[in-house]
Chains A and B, each alone.
Chain A
Amino acid sequence: MEIYHYTDKKGFDRIRATVDWCFLAGQPVPRDHPFGAYFTTMPPGTRNLALRIRVPNNKITHLFSFLDVGDLTRLRGGRGQYVFYSSNDYTVVKKRQVLARERGETS
């Protein structure tokens, strides 16, 4: 299974600056969800993506995808069908990386 992380241009440039990608854990606002680095199984063409994860449109302009190794935690509730998190900073080594690009591109 492929996992996706969406971010803005600033986050994109920071994460891809290193060979191994490091997704930093943080506290989502409002503070309803656990501190962590958040991911989704929803690919970039998913309809209503920003609404489903409830973020501003300008925070999902770029994306990373990588292969799942089953170590992420499912979010409680219905959104757990497509939202997962790591309680700590999450590193993805090069051999798991699939792509890093602007979301508007097609490949």
Chain B
Amino acid sequence: MIGGIDIILQASPGMPLAELILGRLRSFWPSAVFQDADAADQYPIGDPSVLIHGGASREFFIYQDRNAAAVWARQGAVCENRNTMLHFLIGPETMGELQEITVVCDERTKEIDQLIADLQDTFHVDLALV
């Protein structure tokens, strides 16, 4: 009763993690769609509401495009939509400690691994905290 691959990243404290993730995903999937995990509404990743409110989300889905979002809504996780949605969970911030980010995908591909490497670089882990 669980699917996906959970990739765990770390970030230095105090970083605007959701904003950084959304910024990177805008270039990874230019037609991406954003959805907060607690909401039904979906928005193009470049929509002003995502720019304004997306940074406050602690758990969200990023779909490759509208079609992918529709398939996920209709069927859930099926072979047809493999790796067309990434699920992000941003852990709680604790003073002075590394923050945890979980990325859930369906398969480790070259593209996904490159995205993960880019995100980890973006998070600037302070080695003194490791």
> A43 → chain B, closest Cβ, in Å?
13
Complex interface: stretch among B23-31, B49-57, B68-76, B114-122: B68-76
The verdict on A47 contacting B1 (CB below 8 Å), with A56-B78, A57-B74, A76-B8 known, is no
Set of chain A residues within 8 Å of B6, measured between Cβ atoms: 32-33, 75-79
Which residue of chain B has the shortest Cβ distance to A30 in the bound complex? Answer: B5
Contact at B5–A55, with CB atoms within 8 Å?
no
- Bound together, the chains give a CA A77 to CA B4 distance in angstroms of 12
Number of interface residues of A (CB under 8 A): 32
Contact at A53–B2, with CB atoms within 8 Å?
yes
| Mask: chain A, 78-90; 1 = CB below 8 Å from B; 0 = not | 1101010100000
Q: Which 10 residue pairs of A and B lie closest in terms of their CB atoms, listed nearest first? A: A78-B89, A78-B102, A50-B76, A54-B4, A54-B3, A57-B76, A77-B102, A38-B1, A32-B5, A77-B6
